[in-house]
Every structure is written in C-alpha cells, then in structure tokens.
A and B are shown apart, each in its own frame.
Chain A
Amino acid sequence: MTEFLQHLLNTLVLGGTYALLGIGLTLIFGIMNVVNFTHGALYTVGAYVMYLAVTALGLGFFAALPTAILGGLLLGAILDLALLRPLRGADMDTTMLVMIGAGIVLQSGTLWLFGGVAKSIPTPFPDAPLQLGGVSVSWLRLFVLSAALALIGLTYWLINRTRLGLAMRATFQDHDTAALMGVNVRLIYTATFAIGSSLAAAAGALLGPVYVVFPQMGGMAELKAFAIVILGGLGNVTGAAIGGFILALAEELGAGYISSGYRDAMGFLIIIAVLIFKPTGLFAKAERIG
C-alpha cells in the first residue's frame, strides 16, 4: 500500500510539469493550427537558462525560474516573428517542416554551446525528504509541484479573465470574425506562441533541477507533450491539464508494476489507443482538425 501511495505522490509531481508542457502545446495548436516541433527544444532552453542563471549569473534559484520563463517567452516571440508570421496561410506540412528545422537548430545549438556532458542545477532545498507516514517526498519536488500548479492557475486566469485571453478565445473560435471585430490577430498569434513557449521553458526549468540538464532532454519531453495533447483533445486546455496527470499516472504505474523499461512507452500506447477508440480525445470540446 505504501508503495502504491508513493507512486501516486510521484505522479502528482510529474503530472504538474507534464500538464504545463501539454497546455503550452495545445494552446499553440488550438489557436494557431501549428504543431510546434520546437516545443522540446524550448523545454531544453528553459532548463539551460535556469542552469546559467543559477551558476554563471548567480541569480539564486527563485529568481532564476522567472528568468527562464522570460527566456522562453522571448525566444517564442522571436520564432513566431521570424518563421511563423511569414508562413501564415501556408499549408500545415510546410509549417511543420519549418518547425522541425528550427527544433534541430535549437537542439544542436545547445549541444554546440554547452557540450554533451549533463549539467546539474544546485538547489537550496535540503536533501532530507518530507516524511508523510510511509511515503516521502523531497522538498524540491514539492516546490516543483506548487510552482507548476501556480503557473497552470496563472494561465487559466490569463485565458479566462483578461482582455488578451478574450481575444485569444475569439481567435480560437473564428479568426476571421475575430479580425473583423477588431482583434489584432497577428499580435494574438505572436502572444500565443510566446506564452506556449514560456510554459515549455517553465517545465524544463522546473524539471532540470530534479534530474540533470542535457541537450537531448527535450526530445522525449516533446513526444510526451504530443501524447498529452492528443489525450486531452487538440486545442483543449483543460484536457491537456488532466492529460498531463493521466500520462504521469500511467507512466508511474507502468514502471512500478509492469516494467520500468516501458515507462516511456506508456504515452505512445495512450496516443494509439485514444486515436483508435476516441479520436477526438477524452475531453473533446474543440473541433477535430483534419
């Protein structure tokens, strides 16, 4: 029983960051109709900015986190202005290929700059875990969970309670009508891509200190984000949030009770199962695109 509770606790911590990754990707897809193949690279960049901010800049752990998120925001805005804005109206395959190219440039760029040796980010938290009965959780992971939940809350507030969010939702429903009603759609696109990117960077900055930071870390994160988004339904923010926790649960239980080697396979099995049995995702509200 304690082993099971321990798995549930691990699920919560992992699920929070997965949800961040998924929400970022699904926002971009839902509003811009772009499959963001730079999402993994942005996750990696977030982790490296965190590493640089803590070690080279000496900013301190808690100041480094917003720095990494800001880094993701900026890089996202640049990617949109340089690559996506000129391609607006091009077919989906073209945008996908360009984003794959950009992802490669970013990933090999990090490898070039930082080398292949994994870095570890020092944290101010004690090594001794918090004991809750038979289960234990490290203070760092508790912080990661709370920060992830706070960021998810912030994103919800942004989408549902602000003028920017209103414009984003209007663009999501019908970008032509939104444009006619005076919404600056181009600006909304840039903002959406930047926000989605910053969420990926935040996930990287949060998980970086838990594990280690290395240039290829984004590859698997990106594939997991795809799984989460398909699970929740493309473009569905709440679905992605729940999907993140479901994927974490599947992975944790799969690794604990089936085989640890297939931990990463869970996401893909979920994708394939969802697409065969319920192709619109578990929480379908948005229209299926295609």
Chain B
Amino acid sequence: MTRSLTILPALTLAFVLSAGVAYAQAIRIGVNEPLTGPFAASGTYVVNGARIAADEINAKGGVLGKKLELVVEDNKSNPTEAAAVAEKLITSDKTPVLMGAWGSSLTLAVMPKLADYETPMLVETSSSGKITTSGNPYVFRISPPSALEAEAFAPMVEKLGLKKVDFLAINNDWGRGAAADFGKMLKGKGVTVGLVETMDQGAQDMSAQLSKLKGSDADTLLITAAVDQLTLLFKQMAALGLKKRIITTGGSQNPDQIIAQAGTAAEGTMHLTTFLPWYPEKTPNPAATAYFIAEWKKRGFEFAGVTESFRGYDGIRTIAAAIEKGGGTDAASIRKGFWSVDLTGLNGPVRFAKAGPAGSESGQSKPDVYLVKIDGGKVVVPEL
C-alpha cells in the first residue's frame, strides 16, 4: 500500500518533467497577464496584441533565424499568482525573457523573481513609479509611469481651467500612485486637491463613494481605474446625477468600449491615453498603426481593444528587437540587448533611458500621452 502511494507523486513529477523540457528551435517568450479576475478584459487584449506581433515577426523569418513562441500564463489578477507564474515560466518553461504583468501590484510582485533568476522582463502596461525606482535592473518599461503621465498632462491644466480636483482611484499601487503623482503636479500648479476616495479593484457598487463626491465643490474628478469599473462608474454617476468634468488616467480606458457600454453616460468624459487608433495618421508610426489595426480587425477582435492590445504588440516587437541587438537567446544577452533597442512603436519611440538608483538602473521608455474626449458618441482630440 505504502509503496504505491509514494510512487504516485514520483510519477506525477516525471510526467511534468517531460512536459517542461525546453524546445531547442523556438525562442520562448513568457507572457504573464491577467486572463481572469477584475483585469481579465485588459489582459486578454494585451495577449491578443502580442500574438499579432509574434505572428508578424515569424512570418518574416523570426529573430536570429529562429521563430518566436509565446508561452501565455494567467496570473488571475492576483500578485501572489503573478509571482508563481513568473517562477513557473522561468524555471519550468525556460523562457529567457518575460512580458507582463499588466497591473502595477502584479508587476511589483514578479520583480523579485526576475532578480532571483536574472531574467529580464518587459513591462507593457503598469504605471506605478516604484517599478523603475526600486533598483531592479531586469525591468524595462514601455508604458509611462504616472509621474510621466502627470508631467505630460501639466500643460493642459491651465487650458482646461482646473481649480479644485477630487480623486477616485482604484485601491492598489496603480491608483494610489496616480493619485499621489497627479496630486503633487496639480498642487505645484496651484490647483486645490480635495477628496481622495478609493475603491476596491473588484468593487461593483461605487454609489457610496459617488454620493460623497457629488457633495464636494470640486470642478473636476480625476479617476484611475480599468475599463470595466469605469463603465460602471459612468453609469452610476448618471444614475446619481453627478455632473463634473471627468478625466481618467492610466491608459486602460478603451474609450470605444466605454461608449458602447456606458452610452450617453460617458458623454463629455476625457481620457489620458497613450495611443490614438482613431487617427492613425496622427500616430508616430502611421504605417505600423494601420497594419496593426487592420490585422486586429481581420482576427475578429473588437476595435475597442486596440488601446490595450497595442502595448502587447509593441512589447513583443521590443523584445524581438532586444533579442536581435543582444545577439543571443539567453537571458543575459537579451537583457543587454534591451539597452540598445531603438524602434518606433505605435505610440512613440521605444528607447530605454536609465531610471532608479545608480548601479542597478531599470530601463524606462518615454511614450506619447494624449488627451481625448468622448463627444457625440465619438472619440475626438479636443482643441485646447
């Protein structure tokens, strides 16, 4: 009896071992994204964008003569799971480079694993400042940290005539970081910062917070949240009759999805975004934007997703460039390669500048930031 019981785990292990043997031919890229949980919609878009880039690169012959293979894992929108997924991708799937992990708290949870296993990761979405200032030299980020986003927004503050601003932010590194960075920038511009309300990342009913914000005398409400929660917020604002200038930050708003799901409740809201798919000719790389959008539509995905998915597309292209520049398929070469990446992404040049404490700097690229407005059920770039 005992013998058969102890053989069982050993068999299981042998089975898993055989499944975990790394391929020699393809270059495996680990993709660590939220495919379930509160951020599922966004993570799924990013993965689909990443697949377009991988297919495009492979159709052109791959990198260093080898095909790219994406190993996609779900981190369930949970930090502990994100760390476990990173460990699994690095140790079991032997991926020499990762992309992920969408949310700031998720990325921060993964970062110690990168240092443990000396594996670089491209950060495509997260915007907490801590990611590039904590001295992790394996992190390369193409999305703007909220301080950079706030800096890009600074010239618009006077043109919009902001006097007093309240914040409503998702209760995690992303939301709290954005509220802090934007608050600092606004105070520097002489704007009063009023209430700072938070909401749980899975919260569905925000009417209590909104009732409170409705009673405040601020002229503008700055919101940091992902698209699903924004949709609910706009509907609940309409239901409460809350009418203020709304500006959302963080670049995960998918204005088209908001228009489709919140309808007239989203009318007049403004959004800071890092991509202008509605006006491909105004983007830094019109040809690439047009190709990406055409391919996205061809695959039957909703247009609304491109404001998320372009980051997955740019992320994989950046990783491919890093592999090319580094000249090897091992983690160390790819990490070295990141520093000489120079390509024009869909939202500006991708070039990594050093950020964080000297000696262990992370890489930070500086993308463009745009303010768009929902006007008459369409996305427009307001004249300021």
Chain A residues near B (Cβ < 8 Å): 3, 6-7, 10, 14, 111, 115-118, 120, 127-129, 131, 136-138, 140-141, 211-212, 214-217, 252, 255-256, 260-261, 263
B212 within 8 A of A: yes
- 10 nearest A-B pairs in the assembled complex, by CB-CB distance: A116-B36, A255-B208, A138-B239, A116-B40, A211-B204, A136-B241, A117-B41, A256-B208, A117-B40, A127-B265
Q: Are B231 and A120 within 8 A (Cβ)? A: yes
Please give me the residue from chain B that is nearest to A258 by CB atom: B208
Please give me the residue from chain A that is nearest to B236 by CB atom: A138
B359 within 8 A of A: no
B134 within 8 A of A: no
Known: A3-B211, A116-B35. A211 touches B241 (CB 8 A): no
Tell me the complex Cα distance, A116–B78, Å: 13
B272 within 8 A of A: no
Residue from A137, A140, A263 in contact with B208 in the complex, judged by beta carbons closer than 8 Å: A263
Please give me the residue from chain A that is nearest to B208 by CB atom: A255
Q: How far is the CB of B268 from chain A (nearest CB, A)?
A: 13
Chain B residues with CB under 8 A of A138: 235, 238-239
Chain A residues with CB under 8 A of B261: 120
Tell me the complex Cα distance, A256–B241, Å: 17
Q: Are B263 and A127 within 8 A (Cβ)? A: yes
Q: Are B211 and A256 within 8 A (Cβ)? A: yes
Residue from B37, B206, B228 in contact with A212 in the complex, judged by beta carbons closer than 8 Å: B228
Q: Are B240 and A6 within 8 A (Cβ)? A: yes
Chain B residues with CB under 8 A of A261: 171, 198, 200
Q: Are B239 and A260 within 8 A (Cβ)? A: no
Main secondary structure of the interface of B (DSSP, over half): helix
Tell me the complex Cα distance, A263–B198, Å: 13
Q: How many residues from B make CB contacts under 8 Å with A?
A: 36
Chain B residues with CB under 8 A of A14: 205
Within 8 A of A (CB), among B246-300: 261-265
Please give me the residue from chain A that is nearest to B265 by CB atom: A127
Chain A residues with CB under 8 A of B208: 7, 10, 252, 255-256, 260, 263
Tell me the complex Cα distance, A137–B239, Å: 6
B44 within 8 A of A: yes
Chain A residues with CB under 8 A of B214: 3
- Highest count of chain A CB atoms <10 Å: which of B35, B36, B197, B211: B211
Q: How far is the CB of B85 from chain A (nearest CB, A)?
A: 15
Tell me the complex Cα distance, A216–B228, Å: 15
Q: 12 A-B residue contacts at CB 8 Å?
A: A3-B215, A10-B207, A117-B41, A118-B228, A127-B238, A128-B264, A129-B238, A129-B240, A131-B241, A138-B238, A252-B208, A256-B211
Q: How far is the CB of B365 from chain A (nearest CB, A)?
A: 28
Q: How far is the CB of B277 from chain A (nearest CB, A)?
A: 20
B232 within 8 A of A: yes
Chain B residues with CB under 8 A of A263: 203, 205, 208
Please give me the residue from chain A that is nearest to B171 by CB atom: A261
Chain B residues with CB under 8 A of A3: 211-212, 214-215
Tell me the complex Cα distance, A7–B240, Å: 11
Q: Are A212 and B241 within 8 A (Cβ)? A: no
Q: How far is the CB of B307 from chain A (nearest CB, A)?
A: 16
Chain A residues with CB under 8 A of B263: 127
Within 8 A of A (CB), among B48-90: 74
Q: Are B240 and A136 within 8 A (Cβ)? A: yes
Within 8 A of A (CB), among B194-232: 197-200, 203-209, 211-212, 214-215, 228, 231-232
Q: Are B232 and A211 within 8 A (Cβ)? A: yes
Q: How far is the CB of B40 from chain A (nearest CB, A)?
A: 4
Please give me the residue from chain B that is nearest to A5 by CB atom: B211
Residue from A127, A140, A216, A260 in contact with B209 in the complex, judged by beta carbons closer than 8 Å: A260
Tell me the complex Cα distance, A130–B46, Å: 39
Q: Are A212 and B231 within 8 A (Cβ)? A: yes
Q: How far is the CB of A135 from chain B (nearest CB, A)?
A: 9
Residue from B40, B44, B205, B240 in contact with A211 in the complex, judged by beta carbons closer than 8 Å: B205
Q: Are A136 and B239 within 8 A (Cβ)? A: yes
Tell me the complex Cα distance, A179–B360, Å: 78
Chain A residues with CB under 8 A of B203: 260, 263
Q: Are B232 and A212 within 8 A (Cβ)? A: yes
Tell me the complex Cα distance, A137–B211, Å: 12
Chain B residues with CB under 8 A of A6: 207, 211, 240
Chain A residues with CB under 8 A of B238: 127-129, 138
- Highest count of chain B CB atoms <10 Å: which of A10, A127, A137, A214: A127
Tell me the complex Cα distance, A6–B207, Å: 9
Q: How far is the CB of B217 from chain A (nearest CB, A)?
A: 14
Known: A116-B37, A212-B231, A216-B37. 11 other contacts (CB 8 A): A7-B211, A10-B207, A116-B35, A117-B44, A120-B231, A128-B264, A136-B241, A138-B235, A214-B40, A252-B208, A256-B211
Chain A residues with CB under 8 A of B41: 117-118
Please give me the residue from chain A that is nearest to B241 by CB atom: A136
Chain B residues with CB under 8 A of A260: 197-200, 203, 206, 208-209
Q: How far is the CB of B202 from chain A (nearest CB, A)?
A: 8
Q: How far is the CB of A204 from chain B (nearest CB, A)?
A: 13
Q: Are B231 and A115 within 8 A (Cβ)? A: no
Within 8 A of A (CB), among B103-119: none
Q: How far is the CB of A60 from chain B (nearest CB, A)?
A: 18
Chain B residues with CB under 8 A of A136: 239-241
Tell me the complex Cα distance, A128–B235, Å: 9
Tell me the complex Cα distance, A80–B178, Å: 50
Please give me the residue from chain A that is nearest to B267 by CB atom: A127
Q: How far is the CB of A231 from chain B (nearest CB, A)?
A: 20
Q: How far is the CB of B41 from chain A (nearest CB, A)?
A: 4
Known: A6-B211, A118-B40, A136-B240. A127 touches B228 (CB 8 A): no
Tell me the complex Cα distance, A131–B198, Å: 27
Known: A118-B228, A260-B199, A263-B208. A127 touches B235 (CB 8 A): yes
Please give me the residue from chain A that is nearest to B45 by CB atom: A117
Chain B residues with CB under 8 A of A252: 208
Tell me the complex Cα distance, A127–B268, Å: 14
